[in-house]
Amino acid sequence: MNFLIVGLGNIGEEYAHTRHNVGFDVVDDLATDTGVKFKTERYGAIAEVKVKNHVMILLKPSTYMNLSGNAVRYWMQAKKIPLENVLVISDDLALPFGSLRLRGDGGDAGHNGLNHIQETLGTKKYARLRFGIGNDFPKGYQIDYVLSGWSPEQLETLPERITMAGDIVKSFCLSGLHRTMNDYNKR
């Protein structure tokens, strides 16, 4: 069975390893763990990772965040992936740093990437893994905050949280959405 795992982020060195690109960092970690390299394809970079009898098609859209839905729709069609086998990984200001929340549907919470995916697919009913980045910024500095790097304190535990996010992705593919939510959303 094939799954499309979409890590949201923006392409370009100036965005690399910023809070907004944590979705890219999670799929990069999944690829690195298995020695797989990303290939530049239409609408993004793609890598295929086998987990037991399943294939995770990892996608880092090249459309920039605000047009992420174009990449998701294209690769769903190209690889014939049903909506229930799609998981989108995004940053979330509303969650404390390092918190991980898996949901089967919901709103975009003001996230432009999730908003475009929702508009493009015509539904809110797709799985998303939200990676908490916290909201420790002065009023009016949200954009600067999400596009900046992690604090030294956050960098200490970030690798462990990225690995945990990868474990959630693998569980989603192997055990399904509801069991994974039960197992991980409590932590």
How many other C-beta atoms can be found within 10 angstroms of the C-beta atom of residue 182?
A: 12
For tokens 């290939």, the residue is 39
Does residue 20 have an active-site annotation? Answer: yes
Report the distance separating Cα 119 and Cα 114, nearest Å. 9
Q: Of 6, 92, 97, which Cα lies nearest the Cα of 45?
A: 6
Q: Of 167, 174, 175, 26, which Cα lies nearest the Cα of 90?
A: 26
Report the distance separating Cα 88 and Cα 59, nearest Å. 9
How many other C-beta atoms can be found within 10 angstroms of the C-beta atom of residue 26?
A: 28
Structure tokens at 10: 């923006």
Q: Which of 17, 20, 54, 111 is catalytic?
A: 20
Q: Which residues belong to the active site? A: 20
